[in-house]
Structure 1
Amino acid sequence: MTHGSVQEQFDPADTVRWLIQAAADSGQLDLIAGLSDGAMQQLLRDRNRLDAELGRAQAQISDLKTRLAAARRLQARAEQQPTATPVPADLAAELDQLRHDLAQARADRDTALTDRDLYAELLDTAEDERDDAIRDRALLAARLLEYEPEPDSPDEDAEPVPDTFRELLAQAEARYPLLALTLDRQIPAQLDHLPQAPAWRARTVAALKTLHGYATARAAGGDAETAPADLLAWCRNGGPGVHLSAAAVASGERQRVTESDHYGRARVFPVPADVDPSQKAAMWAHIRIGGVRPPAPRMHYLDDTAHTGLIVVGYVGPHLPSPRTN
């Protein structure tokens, strides 16, 4: 099985972004849904093709393992003969070839896994772009209907963003009683010197305000129709307490991350004893503070609003280890 790496091919997510920008620039936001759906269908077909290649690679590995085990048994019998009969040259050659084929099949499988995960992330990105564009179209249409020119007025909710992550987190701890900030603050502080840091701090402020707004709404209760089910639903519904796009919220991690001890340990963070007696818990849910390029900052949190009423923020910093970052 041979195929080029996805990174060496065109990025379909760029096509979606280009379509959205072109439609927005030309005032044709009503075309976005159909155009981006076509690009996402191509992404889906590519991902399904990679799934098929992955299945073939795994079947080939299984077959090679069976053949290699049989050849090794023959080798062991030959070596155990009392006359010390040398291992036939053709059997030794077959063993070498099987070992080579198995190594190549495993390499092909690993490449297919990496490419499949990349296409899955590209598909998520494309869907996020489409959803954002459709929401923007609706908002623009509503504003056009209701628009009345008036003098600009300052945003009453606007607050200056602190110049450092340490100051930002200290302010958040004082302002948001329903957030438990257990993170190591030295980690986000290491991002302060980077050019993108002001944007990341602003996104972090928005994320913390949204988390506290969600926790407050959960604490207020309500019926099944009005109470938010989770942070993602809260962001999708919008409202005065939402300062973050739903596209930035990930309710969990991919299967390859959750099933890996290595990746799982990297996502275990401190929590209050009321949340877990061990004072540690895995935090799969996260918020995208930055984009996909390193360091790609993320905020990992644990939603414990159903029990203690708290949301625990256990990590803010560069993207944690994953199949894509390792």
Structure 2
Amino acid sequence: MNLTSRSPFGPAAEQRCNIKAHAELVSLGEKLQKTSKDLVEAYKKDVAKYQHLAERERDARREAEARVRAYAKVISQHEDLKAKLESVIPDLVQEWQNLPKDPEVVELEAQLTAAERERDRLAELLRTAKEEREAALRARDAAIARLLPHQEDGSRVGDAEALRARLDAPTLCGVLEQAKQHCSLLVITADPDETKRLEHHQKALLWRRRLADALATMQTYAENKNLNRAHGHGAGPDFASLKAYCGSHPSPLLSPTKVILNEGKFASASPRGKAGRKLRVPEDVDASGYAVMLEHIRIGDGAPPAPRLHFLDDTDRTGRITVGYFGEHLHNANTS
């Protein structure tokens, strides 16, 4: 604004303009002054804040440097400390081991050891007692099953020969059915369709007799083994297996040479051989419901179909025998 200009309205108008311009200048100056003061105050606050942060940073850096120096000192002494500890620890352990024990503690430890031995002894006695009780119950049930039909017809209760007479039937499947009725310690899971294939063979009569002999012998073997265990005598060598049991009798119904406890490598080791002998069993024998049965009895001779009876002897655990197969000779390394 030009203050020296002249107003066309005269000196009075010019004076009023000058006064107004002066007032505006004064107001503007005051605003500038106030804004400057506010900026200065804000800068001062920022400076104070950054100075405080800088001091904290310096303190933290000094503390970190102090820790670094301390760690460096420990690290430099590490090997010496390790060596000192390794030399001191064995002596401390030896001293601790040589410290005399409180007599009361020694006595309590001896009592605890004796109590643990007694507990183990009682647990073993309980296990043996349970086994003997279970064997006695199985033997009792088998005897009852054998006794009732004999009482009905007045015949004498005997051993394998007496039982053998009750297993006669006009068919091979009939012999197995008779065994299910009279042989309480035999679990027969054999597929009857496999047995039926043998029914019309010219040697079927001979095989029926041999099958009845085998089943009667297996039942009496399991019965007598359970009785022996129930009396607390243990199994004994004569009951080590069905083969041993047959060999312990002078004139057994089943010759021990007919009892085969294992088979060749093909049957026992090859997948195909084992798969063919994986047969059904009760779930308390095997949770899967199946087990490989390598033990078998030669019912027929070597000429095809050479019938075989495969079984699983579980008399040492459940007291029973599972008959899983009776039919033609299963596939082996010599089978085409």
TM-score (structure 2 length as normaliser): 0.49
Q: Which has the higher helix share?
A: 2
Bigger relative CO (Cα 8 Å, ≥ 6 apart): 1
Whichever of the two has the greater Rg, that structure is 2
TM-score (structure 1 length as normaliser): 0.50
